[in-house]
């Protein structure tokens, strides 16, 4: 059970309610009134909990679970232990996500401005805002309704935040316009100067960075991630992008809708990323490139040229995954042959 | 046009003024009195704007620009559309940088100490300093004239900052001495303990980190970058180094003058980097190495041995660029041959 | 000599005291009363200082040192210059660490709560705590005795910190329980949501992150490092782990005891790392893997599969070090042959 010091539980809910909200169906409709208290992983769940099974790696745990109810794909329904009420879904992980959100909706800070916060002149605060102790909201910033600004976070002058955003502790925001329902996790820095200068041994000459950062709706920005503002254009993050921790996004970069970037990714300046692109951890992309819709870049991949829509690439320089692995296999084979002769 | 909420524009300037300040010459001296209102990228510039052309990738945009004036290398002057006043320069990007600085000089915070800042005992503040709300300047720190300390930034005890520095929001400075005209962007951490200990299964034994961080003049330190203080020597950043976001610089590292480090670079302890060295994004260098003057290390390169002055290396372990690419070509060729026989 | 503005020196100590505390022995017991003023590197040490020799790269400096005393392995005692008092140890670096700690114990902030700190309701502060200006300690947090909370650091609601911890400036802590003698350096973010969601083109669906971060005793967490809290299990850092700067640790990761992670390492969700594992800088590990006790992963290595205990791997995908280097040698040889024919 989640630690009640940190997580406030709702519920219980009837199994039918869970099915309805998660677009699932009950394997046995006579169980619709079953009262379910909590969510839990397969191994820890008890008779009052609902769990889920989605990753075959955990099939053993599914077959042994003592959960009272379980979300599962219909193809695996017959692997469930007797007595587990089954909530069938073709997307069990997503269904479980919706169920877990019912029990544990995002925490709501009490509305109001802490007397230990600093609010500048001309700031507009929407109804229901919560401004934590130590937060600094500078002149003329706009904070949408129900948005939460965490302790010691900084919202720069004229920055605009939409409704229902959550800005974490020690976040720094400047020169940016942010949509609704955006979460920025602790320590992220958004809107600072990009890395723009004309190199010169007598002293590099800075290019004023005159763009902004525009972040759409429903985005998640990870802890200690950095997003530079544009140099002449804006840096743009499309709706529904999920950006993990310690990621670098350079000036003028444009991310389409729904992109997924794992931790420690780096994207150099002026590169454009199509909708629904996915980048594995520690991958990097050079500047001024175009990455097509739905392209996937493997972890630690290094992209030095445009990538077409739908391509799956990895390695440095990034190449199609099959090519990369065939090359690795060739090298392994050749090395082994050498080894057989020489050792 | 840059968003006036975030950027305050100066000007207009006469075209001859722009030429003089950027060391350029007018293609047509009769245009010296042309009044130029603003800077803009090629595609967005209108008749009252000046733009620049420097990257051949954008030649089409240059040939179609509606800018009133444009900075261009003499070799491309004849590609300009009719009616564009040309400011000729052998270094168009640098000339443009100087012009853009005329229109958009660095913003100046109003001098003074916010009542919401905390200033310790014995702090020395130079004339014209601006200390933002939430900033903490601890005992006996020295802040040079016209230096700006951002909201919720922390200047540790006895830290010294020169004149005209800009310290961003949520920056943490300790055990460091910083020169003049240094910018430290949001969230950077400078001066913490390096990673020094004697490994021991019974409990690793910490080595007290007894050096400082010395940063020269005219440096730029990126957002959320970390620079550890020295263990016995100092960690030293030479004048005019440009250090991008999320970079790690270990204890006792020494950077010469004018080095350029792209985002997410990591430099391990006690490595010495010569003047004007350049490192691409996500490159890493092992500890106790020497990198020569002007050496260039490609993005994601991993340096495991000394690099001579002027060398251009990439890959892991880093090798000369031509060698690296010949090796990749060999592997591609062998894999293809295998493929042709086997598939 | 360390800068006295930043480091407060204890001592002098008699040579015998130093030997006793560092488990060493004097080469010449008649020197036991030698008074030693300070520690210093070989090149800078003078007659009143003690230094150490451990890395053969610096043998020349050892042979030329003017130190009054030196810690050295018995095998190298005869390489010392005449007149240097020798403190013999089979682990000279560790012995030196203990000696340096005698001269420079961790600095102690004056106990007390700054009037410029914000302390929430129901907070428990142990005796001897030092809470710096701008620090925010939210409701019901528990801070152990003698623990220091740095300027503008944030301790979230219900967070628990043990005794003798040092929390740096601008650190953000939430949803975590931390042991005794843990140092968290400037700008680190601990306890934020992990990267958990069900991907969906119509809008990725967030999985509530319901675990905590548990950190053992005697850990060191680097500057601007990020540790996500668990999704259903906890994220666990074992006792005595040393975690460098800018490291990403995903949700549900478990580190055993005594692990050493160099800067910019990334560990994806739900991976388990055995005791005393070591990871070089910028290495990455995929999710849901098991890394055995004492395994070593080279810098920039990319681990895509389980690693057995004691294995030493590198490259991407990570393979045994000897295999990796033989493969590199094969490729170099083949490329050279081609080169000889073709150029």
| A150 chain-C contacts, CB cut-off 8 A | 154
Alpha carbon distance C66, C55 (integer Å):
18
For residue C46, the number of C-alpha atoms closer than 13 Å in the C-beta half-sphere is 4
Give the CA dihedral A309, A311, A313, A316, nearest 10 degrees: -40
> Helix, strand or coil for residue C73?
coil
Q: Is B213 left (phi over 0), alpha (psi -120 to 50) or beta?
A: beta
Per DSSP bridges, beta strands C319-320 and B136-137 are unpaired
Residue numbers of chain A with a pLDDT score lower than 70:
337-343
Q: Which of A302, A319, A328 to mutate to test the interface with B (most CBs of B within 10 A)?
A: A302
The fourth-level CATH superfamily of domain C13-103 is MurE/MurF, N-terminal domain (3.40.1390.10)
CATH fold group of domain A174-343: UDP N-Acetylglucosamine Acyltransferase; domain 1 (2.160.10)
pLDDT given for residue C193 in this prediction: 97
Q: Where in chain A is the domain with CATH 2.160.10.10?
A: 174-343
Q: Which of C8, C264, C278 to mutate to test the interface with B (most CBs of B within 10 A)?
A: C264
> Helix, strand or coil for residue C270?
coil
A102 membership: H or E segment, kind and range? helix A92-103
Residues C167 and A182: beta-carbon distance below 8 Å? no
> Helix, strand or coil for residue B189?
strand
8-state DSSP, A92: H
Token look-up 């704007």 returns: B49
Of A204, A208, A302, the CB nearest to B300: A302
Residue numbers of chain C with a pLDDT score lower than 70:
337-343
B328 membership: H or E segment, kind and range? helix B321-342
Give the CA dihedral B50, B55, B56, B60, nearest 10 degrees: -40
Q: How many CB pairs under 8 A join A and C?
A: 193
Q: Where in chain A is the domain with CATH 3.40.1390.10?
A: 13-103
- C108 or B101, higher pLDDT: B101
The architecture (CATH level 2) of C171-343 comes to 3 Solenoid (2.160)
> Helix, strand or coil for residue A153?
coil
Give the residues across from C273 on adjacent strands: C255, C291
Binning chain C into helix, strand and coil, the percentages to the nearest 5 are 15, 25, 55
Token look-up 């409704």 returns: A163
For residue A242, the number of C-alpha atoms closer than 13 Å in the C-beta half-sphere is 24
Q: Where are the alpha helices (DSSP H) in A5-91?
A: 15-21, 59-63
CA of C60 vs chain B CAs: smallest distance (Å): 15
Could A204 and B169 be called an inter-chain contact, meaning their C-beta atoms sit closer than 8 Å?
A: no
Residue B264 in tokens: 């997410």
pLDDT given for residue B1 in this prediction: 85
Of B7, B100, B134, the CB nearest to A136: B134
pLDDT given for residue B341 in this prediction: 44
CA of C294 vs chain A CAs: smallest distance (Å): 24
Of B205, B266, B302, the CB nearest to C263: B266
Residues B193 and B210: beta-carbon distance below 8 Å? no
Residues A163 and A111: beta-carbon distance below 8 Å? no
Please provide the DSSP assignment of C174-242 as one string: -SEEE-SS-EE-TT-EES---S-EE--TT--EEPP----EEE-SS-EE-TT-EEPPPSSS-EEE-TT-E
CA of C148 vs chain A CAs: smallest distance (Å): 18
Alpha carbon distance A27, B325 (integer Å):
58
Residue C77 in tokens: 């005692």
Catalytic residue among B73, B90, B185, B251: B251
pLDDT given for residue B338 in this prediction: 52
Q: Which of C152, C316, C336 to mutate to test the interface with A (most CBs of A within 10 A)?
A: C316
Could C98 and B134 be called an inter-chain contact, meaning their C-beta atoms sit closer than 8 Å?
A: no
CA of B191 vs chain A CAs: smallest distance (Å): 18
Per-residue pLDDT of B219-232, as tens digits, reads 999 999 999 999 98
Q: Is-cis flag, bond preceding B113, omega within 30?
A: no
Alpha carbon distance B65, B60 (integer Å):
9
pLDDT given for residue C336 in this prediction: 80
User: Considering all CA atoms of chain A, what is the largest pairwise distance in Å, rounded to the nearest integer?
Assistant: 80
Other beta carbons within 10 angstroms of residue C102's beta carbon come to 17
Residues A167 and A173: beta-carbon distance below 8 Å? yes
| A192 chain-B contacts, CB cut-off 8 A | 168, 185-186, 222-223, 245
CA of C108 vs chain A CAs: smallest distance (Å): 24
Per-residue pLDDT of C238-256, as tens digits, reads 999 999 999 999 999 999 9
Query: In sequence order, what are the residues at sequence separation of 6 or more whose Cβ sits closer than 8 angstroms to the Cβ of residue B313?
Result: B295, B296, B297, B298, B301, B303, B307, B319, B320, B321, B324
Residue A31: exposed, middle, or buried by beta-carbon count in 10 A (0-12, 13-18, 19+)? middle
Alpha carbon distance A261, A279 (integer Å):
5
Alpha carbon distance A182, A171 (integer Å):
13
Q: Where are the alpha helices (DSSP H) in B15-91?
A: 15-21, 59-63
| A224 chain-C contacts, CB cut-off 8 A | 187, 189, 224-226, 246
What is the rounded average pLDDT for all residues in chain B? 96
Residue C271 in tokens: 């991976």
Query: In sequence order, what are the residues at sequence separation of 6 or more whose Cβ sits closer than 8 angstroms to the Cβ of residue A54?
Result: A73, A92, A93, A96
Closest CA to C124 of C140, C108, C106, C101: C140
Could A210 and B242 be called an inter-chain contact, meaning their C-beta atoms sit closer than 8 Å?
A: no
Residues C302 and A300: beta-carbon distance below 8 Å? yes
Q: Where are the alpha helices (DSSP H) in chain C?
A: 15-21, 59-63, 92-103, 321-342
Q: Which residues of A are catalytic?
A: 251
Q: Where in chain C is the domain with CATH 2.160.10.10?
A: 171-343
Q: Would you tell me the crossing angle of helices B321-342 and A321-342 to the nearest 10 degrees?
A: 90
CA of B283 vs chain A CAs: smallest distance (Å): 11
| C154 chain-A contacts, CB cut-off 8 A | 134, 150-152, 169-170, 186
Length of chain C counted residue by residue: 343
Alpha carbon distance A198, B329 (integer Å):
33
Alpha carbon distance C22, C101 (integer Å):
10
Complex ipTM more than 0.85, yes or no: yes
8-state DSSP, A106: P
Please provide the DSSP assignment of A250-289 as one string: -TT-EE-TT-EE-TT-EE-TT-EE-TT-EE-TT-EE-TT-
Query: What's the whole-model pTM score?
Result: 0.97
Of B187, B220, B335, the CB nearest to A172: B187
Could A197 and B242 be called an inter-chain contact, meaning their C-beta atoms sit closer than 8 Å?
A: yes
| C192 chain-A contacts, CB cut-off 8 A | 168, 185-186, 222-223, 245
Of A171, A198, A250, the CB nearest to B263: A250
| C152 chain-B contacts, CB cut-off 8 A | 134, 136, 152-154, 170, 172
Rounded to whole angstroms, what are the CA distances from B177 to A135, A175, B147, B186, B190? Answer: 28, 29, 14, 18, 10
The secondary structure of B101-149, three-state, reads HHHCCCCCCCCEECCCCEECCCCEECCCCEECCCCEECCCCEECCCCEE
For residue A196, the number of C-alpha atoms closer than 13 Å in the C-beta half-sphere is 26
Could B2 and A200 be called an inter-chain contact, meaning their C-beta atoms sit closer than 8 Å?
A: no
pLDDT given for residue A107 in this prediction: 85
Residue A127: exposed, middle, or buried by beta-carbon count in 10 A (0-12, 13-18, 19+)? exposed
Q: Which residues of C are catalytic?
A: 251
Could C218 and B199 be called an inter-chain contact, meaning their C-beta atoms sit closer than 8 Å?
A: no
pLDDT given for residue C338 in this prediction: 52
């Amino acid at each position: 059970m989640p630690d009640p010091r940190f997580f406030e539980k709702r519920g219980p809910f009837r199994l039918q309610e869970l099915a309805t909200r998660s677009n699932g169906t009950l394997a046995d409709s006579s169980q619709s009134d079953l009262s379910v208290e909590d969510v839990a992983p397969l191994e820890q769940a008890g008779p009052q909990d609902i769990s889920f099974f989605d990753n075959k790696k955990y099939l053993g745990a599914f077959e042994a679970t003592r959960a009272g109810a379980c979300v599962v794909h219909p193809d695996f329904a017959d692997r469930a232990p007797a007595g587990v009420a089954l909530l069938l879904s073709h997307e069990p992980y997503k269904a479980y996500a919706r169920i877990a959100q019912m029990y544990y909706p995002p925490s709501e800070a009490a509305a109001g401005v802490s007397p230990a916060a600093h609010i500048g002149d001309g700031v507009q605060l929407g109804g229901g805002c919560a401004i934590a102790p130590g937060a600094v909201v500078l002149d003329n910033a706009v904070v949408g309704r129900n948005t939460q600004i965490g302790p010691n976070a900084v919202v720069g002058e004229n920055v605009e935040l939409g409704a229902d955003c959550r800005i974490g502790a020690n976040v720094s925001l400047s020169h940016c316009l942010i949509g609704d329902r955006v979460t920025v996790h602790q320590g992220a820095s958004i809107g600072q100067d990009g890395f723009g200068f004309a190199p010169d041994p007598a002293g590099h000459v800075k290019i004023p960075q005159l763009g902004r950062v525009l972040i759409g709706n429903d985005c998640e920005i990870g802890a200690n991630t950095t997003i530079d503002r544009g140099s002449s254009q804006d840096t743009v993050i499309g709706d529904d992008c999920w950006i993990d921790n310690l990621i670098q996004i350079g000036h003028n970069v444009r991310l389409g809708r729904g992109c997924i970037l794992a931790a420690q990714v780096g994207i150099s300046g002026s590169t454009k990323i199509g909708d629904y692109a996915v980048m594995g951890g520690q991958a990097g992309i050079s500047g001024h490139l175009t990455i097509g819709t739905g392209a996937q870049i493997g972890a630690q991949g290094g992209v030095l040229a445009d990538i077409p829509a739908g391509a799956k690439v990895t390695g440095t320089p990034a190449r199609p995954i099959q090519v990369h692995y065939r090359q690795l296999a060739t090298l392994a084979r050749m090395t082994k042959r050498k080894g057989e002769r020489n050792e």
